[in-house]
């Protein structure tokens, strides 16, 4: 089905992203995998071509296009090369960006946005801790007032881009916060004394992206590092989760689409019993299922993108998008891998890596169980949720 949400300017942008992927990322992918990191030159090339600042206002070094369809095009195209690229760049453009655009003063914007749009600043967001992931309110990192600033203590884990990040949004509990449901957000510049990071964690997939532990041991940040109001951090996070989840959904389907196209090509070429494996009814039926699942999920996700462009996306609809798209992605890629036979199990094959990369999308950005919880609560099955 023809997708109707994109206009010519979005398709033109798709070409820009495709060119960037072909020229500036794909030739270096092997190195990114072995080094568990996307090198700074790639970030700078992305910045030079406007991929990291299209949404930043012109006065702060960007192009001023605040339209999630550009984010969607970018996420889809990056995920085709490898989901890790959508994860790493998506942290900047889809997840950190709304905090820096919406919660900052002019002075903070002047300080952080120009190098960010230019690809000189890599960003991350550190909410998850060893003891608290799904349960965001369970974090233990603290922020204590000291003079005009704050002192941070605690540790974070699973921080995407964490090993290279120059600027990290950190969630911490402060004494200003109401005990149970509140926290504050700080932008920590990585040159702060006593800030430390562990090596990038060894993952089963998405090896190009950094996933790191961060340590705050009496790290002092000045007062202007606070994002928005002290104590309002949990609300800020919740308000921005819908875009984060939509971003995961978009990339998941882009990833699945790419894998399906490559598999269709493969079953045309590969023969068994004297005929292409694509000629077997079992293959045809399996791929028909895959294409149907992707297209049906795309219809919902596109509707969510359109709703988001009009500021109408609800957390429940975003949860449905992430739940569906990531489950479809994992099913489709698993079916595709099966059609590669033994080669599907060999890491040199892109389908094997796609399968490894896909697994985490049902976990990060809110697990599938948490998505079901959000959707289930909206059904008002008990008086508590009515
Ligand atoms: C590769 C990767 C990148 C990541 N990037 C970031 C990042 O950049 N920044 C960041 O802050 N975090 C990041 N995360 C963390 C990620 O968001 C968390 O791993 C995720 O939210 C789950 O938290 P957890 O790992 O602590 O699992 P837990 O919360 O301990 O959950 C364990 C299991 O219990 C289930 N569960 C928990 N609560 C409920 C409930 N109420 N009802 C039903 N089941 C429940 C979960 O669904 C899961 O199956 C990343 C994680 C990974 C693996």
What is the maximal distance between C-alpha atoms in the chain? 78
Cα(129) to centroid(ligand 1), Å: 10
CB atoms < 10 A from the CB of 83, how many? 33
pLDDT tens readout for residues 16-35: 999 999 999 999 999 999 99
Count of all residues that appear for the chain in the document: 386
Active site residue 244: yes
In eight-state DSSP terms, residue 94 is I
For residue 228, give the H/E element and its range: none
Closest residue CA from atom 27 of ligand 1: 133
Q: Which atom of ligand 1 is nearest to the CA of 369?
A: 47
Q: Which atom of ligand 1 is nearest to the CA of 135?
A: 29
Residue 214 · residue 152 · CB < 8 Å: no
State which of 208, 363, 368, 377 you would mutate to test the pocket of ligand 1, scoring each by most atoms of that ligand within 8 A of its C-beta: 363
How confident is the model at residue 236, as a pLDDT? 96
Q: Which atom of ligand 1 is nearest to the CA of 162?
A: 8
For residue 124, give the H/E element and its range: strand 123-126
Nearest Cα neighbor of 125 from 249, 233, 231, 253 is 233
Q: What is the mean pLDDT of each run of 10 residues along the chain (386 residues)?
A: 96 98 97 95 96 95 95 98 98 97 97 95 97 96 95 98 97 73 91 94 96 98 96 95 98 98 98 97 98 98 98 98 98 98 97 98 98 96 81
Residue 132 · residue 139 · CB < 8 Å: yes
**Ligand 1 site residues, Cβ closer than 6 angstroms:** 91, 124-128, 133-135, 158-160, 203, 211, 360, 363-367, 369-370, 373
For residue 1, give the H/E element and its range: none
State which of 128, 208, 361 you would mutate to test the pocket of ligand 1, scoring each by most atoms of that ligand within 8 A of its C-beta: 128
Among the listed residues 15, 244, 348, 384, the single catalytic one is 244
How confident is the model at residue 181, as a pLDDT? 62
Provide the β-strand partners of residue 187.
169
Q: Which atom of ligand 1 is nearest to the CA of 127?
A: 11
CA distance linking residue 168 with residue 212, whole number of Å: 12
pLDDT tens readout for residues 50-88: 999 999 999 999 999 999 999 999 999 999 999 999 999
Residue 218 · residue 153 · CB < 8 Å: yes
| CA-CA-CA-CA dihedral for 367, 368, 372, 373, to nearest 10 | -20
Closest residue CA from atom 45 of ligand 1: 369
pLDDT tens readout for residues 330-342: 999 999 999 999 9
204 by Cβ neighbours in 10 Å (0-12 / 13-18 / 19+) ranks as exposed
Cα(203) to centroid(ligand 1), Å: 15
How confident is the model at residue 276, as a pLDDT? 97
CA distance linking residue 38 with residue 208, whole number of Å: 6
How confident is the model at residue 182, as a pLDDT? 79
Q: What angle do CA 16, 19, 20 make, to 5 degrees?
A: 85
Closest residue CA from atom 16 of ligand 1: 364
How confident is the model at residue 176, as a pLDDT? 56
How confident is the model at residue 385, as a pLDDT? 74
How confident is the model at residue 174, as a pLDDT? 87
Residue 255 · residue 357 · CB < 8 Å: yes
Residue 42 · residue 28 · CB < 8 Å: yes
CA distance linking residue 254 with residue 90, whole number of Å: 13
CA distance linking residue 207 with residue 100, whole number of Å: 27
How confident is the model at residue 383, as a pLDDT? 82
How confident is the model at residue 178, as a pLDDT? 58
Nearest Cα neighbor of 88 from 33, 27, 139 is 33
Task: Report the helix count and the strand count for the chain, using DSSP H and E.
Answer: 12, 10
Residues 6+ apart with CB under 8 A from 198: 212, 213, 214, 215
């Amino acid at each position: 089905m023809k997708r109707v949400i994109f206009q010519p300017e979005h398709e033109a942008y798709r070409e820009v992203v495709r060119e960037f992927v072909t020229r500036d990322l794909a030739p270096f992918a092997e190195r990114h995998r072995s080094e568990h990191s996307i090198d700074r030159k790639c970030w700078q090339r992305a910045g030079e071509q406007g991929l990291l600042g299209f949404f930043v206002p012109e006065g702060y070094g960007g192009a001023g296009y605040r339209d999630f369809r550009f984010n969607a095009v970018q996420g889809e195209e990056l995920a085709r090369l490898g989901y890790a690229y959508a994860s790493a760049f998506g942290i900047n453009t889809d997840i950190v960006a709304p905090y820096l655009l919406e919660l900052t003063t002019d002075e903070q914007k002047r300080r952080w946005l120009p190098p960010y749009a230019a690809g000189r600043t890599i960003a991350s967001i550190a909410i998850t801790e060893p003891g608290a992931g799904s349960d965001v309110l369970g974090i233990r990192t603290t922020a204590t007032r000291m003079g005009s600033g704050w002192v941070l203590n605690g540790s974070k884990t699973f921080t995407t881009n964490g090993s290279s990040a120059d600027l990290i949004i950190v969630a911490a509990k402060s004494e200003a916060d109401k005990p149970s449901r509140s926290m504050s957000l700080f932008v920590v510049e990585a040159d702060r004394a006593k800030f430390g990071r562990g090596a990038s964690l060894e993952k089963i997939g998405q090896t190009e992206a950094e996933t790191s532990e961060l340590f705050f041991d009496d790290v002092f940040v000045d007062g202007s590092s606070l994002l928005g109001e002290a104590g309002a951090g949990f609300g800020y996070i919740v308000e921005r989760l819908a875009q984060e989840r939509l971003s995961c959904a978009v990339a998941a389907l882009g990833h699945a689409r790419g894998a399906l196209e490559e598999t269709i090509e493969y079953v045309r070429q590969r023969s068994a019993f004297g005929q292409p494996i694509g000629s077997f009814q079992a293959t045809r039926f399996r791929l028909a299922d895959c294409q149907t699942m992707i297209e049906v999920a795309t219809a919902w996700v596109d509707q969510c993108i359109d709703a988001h462009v009009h500021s109408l996306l609800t957390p429940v609809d975003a949860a449905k998008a992430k739940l569906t798209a990531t489950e479809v992605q994992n099913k489709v890629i698993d079916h595709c891998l099966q059609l590669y036979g033994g080669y599907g199990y060999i890491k040199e094959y892109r389908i094997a890596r796609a399968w490894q990369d896909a697994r985490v999308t049902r976990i990060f950005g809110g697990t599938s169980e948490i998505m079901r919880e959000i959707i289930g609560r909206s059904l008002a099955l008990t008086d508590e949720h009515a």
